[in-house]
Amino acid sequence: MNPIHILLVEDNEGDILLTTEALQEGKILNKITVARDGRQAVDFLSKTGEYANAEAPNLILLDINLPKKNGHEVLQFIKTNDKLKLLPVIMLTTSSAERDISMAYNNHANCYITKPVDVDDFMEAVLKMEDFWINIVKLPNTK
């Protein structure tokens, strides 16, 4: 299996560290790019400004509670853009609110995962997610 490029859209430094550590512990070497707010994610995905030469990701891990643009706005941007809409988007967030879950799926999120509070449970959830989305699922070619 070839490495894939994951765009992690997350503003919490602790969650960035845990997620990247869990992904690096996995069986596959992945390229991980971090966007720390919704605006930066949109700029990266639309290859705007400093991201003009950015490599398209194969998979997006998207938090909801982000500065500048929230995760729902970023998801809407992705899923209404003809060049991006096939990208799998996994909502990875602390919110377990039914409103957020419904809104995410209404905007065509591919998956919704509530971040476990316990560090070990969080690491296990990321490893299981990686196993499913990288080892089992066939991802579209974004190149």
Q: Residue 80: which CATH number?
A: 3.40.50.2300
Q: What is d(CA 115, CA 48) in angstroms, rounded to the nearest whole number?
A: 30
Whether the pLDDT of residue 1 is over 60: the answer is no
Whole-number percent of the chain with pLDDT over 90: 53
In a domain, 141, yes or no: no
Nearest 10 degrees: Cα torsion 121, 92, 97, 79:
-160
Candidates 92, 100, 114; CA nearest to 16 is 92
pTM for the predicted model, two decimal places:
0.88
The domain total for the chain is 1
Whether the pLDDT of residue 27 is over 80: the answer is no
Mean of pLDDT values over 91-118 = 91
In a domain, 142, yes or no: no
Q: Residue 134 in contact with residue 28, Cβ under 8 Å?
A: yes
Which residue range is the domain that position 22 belongs to?
5-136
Q: Residue 35 in contact with residue 9, Cβ under 8 Å?
A: yes
For residues 47-63, one letter each, b for 16 or more C-beta atoms within 10 angstroms of the residue's C-beta and e for the rest, the string is eeeebeebeebbbbbbb
In a domain, 143, yes or no: no
Mean of pLDDT values over 63-75 = 96
DSSP code of residue 137: S
